[in-house]
């Protein structure tokens, strides 16, 4: 660009950086300095660097705003989905002192599972159940101990944990639990049919135990995260002398740690197909679960709860309307036998959408039969999202009169 010089004998020349000067050739003319108004650069002359310096911070600011909005929306959805948001990561465990096996008398084997054998015994004069894991199942022992050791894991419908330890030079590991005199629910139902009041007690305690396990609790500065059982079956609930059930065997359970409203699980526990085949929900049998959302674990538990309630009610006198109470059967045993294959179950449960038979004559004259049918259907619904929660199942059972 050119500027107009104050004397006609001068000539103008432009330089870099938007500078211009007037030069003249008369004697001492450079002593006669005139300051001109600074030149404003034209937009086209802005450097790339100045554009970047303006645009990049603005873009970063915009991205930050979008991220904050998304997080706000997601937290809102989580609040709606879970009812409450836990503000901190949950890592509380209760202090369980290690027990010495020499202080426990072992009497006889009560049950033999895949991982452990369960003994009846006596600890300081109190009857107990002792679950002994061989060294090769140390991980299963640690996993179950971790669940039993969670703070606030204290509920009438969950087996009481008395301690844990290792024996025989650390080769075997054991958990000490309250002894349930009737043993597993399965063996109880095989040996006993029951009145409506007894069946309702079994059913209520099962649903209350599961609702408690699934709950996310804060009390006295302690936190119990939600726990998915993962292997609910009539072999993994025991019956006490008072006729109530308590949930046990947390070897396949998943602790849903809750951080800032999001639930997440130990990465080591991402195994969708845990549990006993005939209690697996259709989506787990087929492997169609959303691994990003831990809720499928809770929904799978509720499906299994529906099957357990069915097992309990098939042994109830009143529901048989005066007819003979049928022998206890496992879910789908009538259709597929005692040990069905996964393929058979997928065909029956998932593809044909069959469920255990609820006889038409069940309690025709019995008040509450409508509620019972609804509870079963809503627990084992094909659509996991349509299933009841464990708490809702417990609430509906509470409306039935003993
Ligand atoms: N607290 C208890 N009181 C009485 N009997 C119990 C108790 N705990 C377990 N049992 C009996 O021992 C059996 C096996 O227990 P448990 O299911 O905990 O073992 P497991 O090796 O984890 O079995 P699974 O094969 O289901 O994984 C139960 O089915 C039940 O009969």
**Res 164 pLDDT > 50:** yes
Question: What values do phi and psi take at 12, rounded to 5?
Answer: -100, 150
Tell me, rounded to whole angstroms, the distance of Cα 104 from its chain centroid: 35
Work out which ligand 1 atom sits closest to the CA atom of 231: 26
Q: Is 113 in the pocket of ligand 1 (CB under 6 A)?
A: yes
Q: Which two tokens stand for residue 275?
A: 């549990």
Least Cα distance to 279 among 246, 239, 310 occurs for 310
Whole-Å CA distances, 375 to 82, 152, 235, 275, 348: 21, 29, 22, 23, 21
Best residue among 114, 131, 156, 176 to mutate for probing ligand 1's pocket (most ligand atoms within 8 Å of CB) is: 131
What pLDDT sits at residue 120?
Answer: 96
How far, in Å, is the centroid of ligand 1 from the Cα of 148?
Answer: 14
Residue nearest to atom 31 of ligand 1 (CA): 184
Q: Count the alpha carbons within 13 Å of 266 in the hemisphere toward its beta carbon.
A: 14
Distances (CA, A) of 239 to 13, 82, 192: 103, 31, 12
131 annotated binding-site participant: yes
pLDDT in tens, 65-97: 676 656 655 544 433 333 333 333 455 565 556
Please calculate the CA angle 132-165-167 and round it to the nearest 5 degrees. 70
ipTM: 0.93
344 is catalytic: no
In this structure, are residues 345 and 335 in contact, taking their beta carbons and an 8 Å threshold? no
Contact 326, 320 (CB under 8 A): yes
**Which of 172, 216, 231, 249 is labelled catalytic?**
231
Helix (H) / strand (E) containing 110: strand 104-112
pLDDT tens per residue across span 184-225: 999 999 999 999 999 999 999 999 999 999 999 999 999 999
Query: Distance between CA atoms of 46 and 53, rounded to whole angstroms?
Result: 11
- Please, which pLDDT band fits residue 167 given cuts at 50, 70 and 90? confident
Cα 262 to chain centroid, rounded: 10
Nearest-CA residue for atom 9 of ligand 1: 118
* Extended strands (E) in 63-103: none
Give the residue, by CA position, lying nearest to ligand 1 atom 19.
113
Ligand 1 binding pocket mutation candidate from 147, 246, 248 (most atoms within 8 A of CB): 248
Residue 50's pLDDT band, with cuts at 50, 70 and 90, is low
Query: Which tokens sit at 248?
Result: 């046990």
Which atom from ligand 1 is nearest to the alpha carbon of 249? Answer: 18
Determine the distance separating the centroid of ligand 1 and the alpha carbon of 177, expressed in angstroms. 10
Q: What whole-number distance in Å separates Cα of residue 28 and Cα of residue 10?
A: 13
What confidence tens digit (pLDDT) does each residue in 339-367 have? Answer: 999 999 999 999 999 999 998 878 666 77
Distance 377 CA to ligand 1 centre (A): 28
Kindly report, residue by residue over 103-113, the tens digit of the pLDDT: 889 999 998 88
């Amino acid at each position: 660009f050119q500027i107009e010089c104050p004397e006609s004998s001068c000539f103008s020349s432009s330089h870099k950086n938007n500078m211009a000067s007037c030069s003249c050739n008369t004697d001492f003319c450079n002593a006669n300095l005139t300051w001109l108004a600074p030149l404003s650069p034209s937009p086209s002359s802005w450097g790339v660097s100045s554009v970047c310096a303006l645009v990049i911070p603005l873009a970063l600011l915009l991205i930050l705003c979008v991220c904050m909005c998304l997080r706000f929306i997601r937290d809102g959805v989580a609040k709606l989905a879970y009812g409450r948001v836990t503000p901190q990561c949950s890592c509380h465990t209760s202090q369980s002192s290690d027990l010495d096996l020499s202080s426990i008398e072992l009497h006889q084997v009560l049950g033999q599972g895949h991982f452990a054998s369960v003994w009846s015994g006596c600890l300081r004069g109190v009857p107990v159940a002792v679950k002994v894991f061989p060294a090769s199942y140390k991980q299963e022992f640690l996993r179950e101990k971790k669940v039993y050791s969670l703070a606030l894991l204290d509920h009438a419908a969950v087996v009481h944990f008395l301690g844990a330890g290792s024996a025989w030079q650390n080769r075997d590991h054991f958990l000490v639990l309250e002894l349930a005199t009737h043993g597993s629910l399965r063996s109880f139902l095989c040996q006993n049919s029951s009145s409506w009041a007894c069946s309702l007690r079994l059913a209520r305690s099962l649903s209350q135990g599961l609702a408690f396990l699934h709950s996310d609790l804060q009390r006295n500065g302690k936190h119990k995260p939600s726990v998915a059982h993962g292997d609910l079956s009539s072999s993994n609930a025991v019956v006490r002398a008072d006729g109530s059930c308590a949930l046990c065997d947390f070897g396949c359970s998943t602790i849903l740690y809750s951080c800032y409203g999001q639930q997440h699980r130990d990465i080591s526990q991402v195994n969708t197909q845990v549990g006993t085949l005939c209690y697996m929900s259709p989506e787990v049998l087929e492997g169609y679960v959303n691994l990003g959302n831990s809720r499928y674990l809770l929904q799978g538990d509720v499906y299994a709860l529906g099957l357990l309630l069915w097992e309990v009610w098939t042994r109830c006198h009143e529901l048989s309307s005066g007819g003979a109470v049928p022998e206890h059967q496992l879910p789908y045993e009538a259709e597929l036998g005692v040990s069905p294959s996964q393929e058979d179950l997928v065909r029956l449960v998932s593809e044909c959408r069959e469920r255990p038979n609820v006889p038409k004559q069940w309690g025709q004259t019995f008040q509450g039969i409508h509620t019972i049918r609804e509870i079963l259907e809503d627990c084992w619904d094909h659509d996991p999202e349509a299933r009841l929660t464990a708490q809702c199942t417990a609430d509906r059972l509470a409306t039935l009169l003993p």
